[in-house]
Structure 1
Amino acid sequence: MLRRLVLTAAATATASLAALAAAAPTADAAPRAPLPLPLLEAGPREQAGSAPGDRLTVTTAETGNPRADGTYELTCGAGNGTAGGSHPEARAACERLAEFATERQDPFRPVDGDAMCTMQHGGPATARITGTWHGQRVDAAFDRTNGCEIRRWEALEPLLPTTRHGDARTG
C-alpha cells in the first residue's frame, strides 16, 4: 500500500514537471515585458476647444443631509491646483481626485461582479457622477447597499458627501 502511494506521488510529480518544462519559454525566446494596465478604459477625449482639466457633475440623494443632496458641478484644473464649480467642497474633492491619479487608480470603477462583500446596508444614499476625468468619460453610479459599495463611496469622500444614516461612524 505504501509503495503504491509513493509510486503514484512520484508519477504525479514527474508529470507536473514535464508539463511545466513544456510550457516554459525557450532560451532563444525574447523576454516578455509586463503589459501596461490602463488607468481608465479608453473613451472619447475632451472635445477640441474645451478647457483642460476635470469637469464632473455630481448628483446625490437621500444622504441624510439635506444640504448635501442635489446636483453640483466640479472643475479641477489640469495640474495647476485650481478648483471651482458649485460643489460645496471643491478644493478637497479635487485634491482627492488628484490622489487617485497619483496612485494610478480609477475611483469610478464599479465593484467587480465576483467580489465578496459584507451584507450590510449603509442607508438609501445614491449618487451619480458624469463628466470627464483625466480626459476620460465618466458615468458612474454609487450607493451604499453592501460593504463593497460603502467602501467605494467612502473612498470618494469628499467628492461624495459623508452620509448621516447607516454610518457607524456617525451613529
Structure 2
Amino acid sequence: MLLRRLSSRLLLTAASAAALAAVPVSAHADTGPTRMPPPPFGAPDGPGGDHLTVTVADSGNGSDGTRELECGPAGGTHSDPGAACDRLDELAGDGQDPFAPVPKGSLCTMQYGGAATAHVTGTWHGRAVDATYKLTDGCEISRWNRLVPVLPATAP
C-alpha cells in the first residue's frame, strides 16, 4: 500500500514537472516593472557632493573645533581629508552605515572613555547625515574608534 502511494505521488510530481517545462517562457503573467532594491548605504549616487561638517568638543588633545570634510575629491579643512574619506569608503564598501547609531538593546561594557563629543552633519553619498558621538560606554567608544580618522583618535 505504501509503495503504491509513493509511486502515485512520484508519477504526479513527474507529470507536473513535465507540464511546467512545456509552458513557453513568454507565457508568464506580467506583473509590471520590477523594483530594484535601493543601493546599500555608501553606494554613491553620483560623483562628488559629499560634504560633512565635523564638530569635536572636550577632546583634551587639541582636536576641538569644527572642520569641513569633502570627499570626491578629498578636501576641506579636516586635518587629513584623504584618510578620512578612505575610511568612510572602506566602511561603506563593507556595506556598513558609517553613521549608524548603536543598535537598541545592545549590551555594552560599563566604561567611560572621556568627555569628548562629536557631531557630524552634512551629506554622504546622497544621504543626509546627522550623527552624534560620545565616549560614555564600550559600544559608543567602539563606534567612535571605528570612525577614526574622520573623528580624532582619543586616549583609551
SS in 2 for 1:84: coil
Q: What does residue 8 of structure 1 align with?
A: none
| Counterpart AA for 2:137 | N
Mapped pair 1:136 → 2:116: no
Instruction: Map 1:56-71; keep pairs closer than 5 Å.
Output: 56-66=52-62, 68-71=63-66
CA contact (8 A) 1:121 1:147 kept: yes
Mapped pair 1:39 → 2:40: yes
- Provide Cα deviations, 1:71-120, integer angstroms capped at 9, x if missing partner: 0000000xxxx210000011100000110121111010100120000000
Normalised to the residue count of structure 2, the TM-score between the two structures is: 0.70
CA contact (8 A) 1:63 1:162 kept: no
CA distance in 2, matches of 1:53, 1:136: 10
* CA root-mean-square deviation: 2.2
Q: What does residue 88 of structure 2 align with?
A: 97
SS in 2 for 1:101: helix
Identical counterparts, % of pairs? 55
Q: Which has the larger radius of gyration?
A: 2
2:106 to 110, 115, 118: 115
Q: 1:38 to 1:146 in 2, by over 3 A?
A: farther
Q: What does residue 24 of structure 1 align with?
A: none
| Counterpart AA for 2:93 | T
Stretches of structure 2 lacking an aligned partner (at least 5 in a row): 1-35
The Cα shift of 1:37 comes to 7.7
Q: What does residue 126 of structure 1 align with?
A: 117
Q: What does residue 20 of structure 1 align with?
A: none
* Alignment coverage as a number of residue pairs: 119
| Counterpart AA for 1:120 | Q
Normalised to the residue count of structure 1, the TM-score between the two structures is: 0.64
Q: 1:37 to 1:112 in 2, by over 3 A?
A: farther
Stretches of structure 1 lacking an aligned partner (at least 5 in a row): 1-34
Q: What does residue 33 of structure 2 align with?
A: none
| Counterpart AA for 2:61 | N
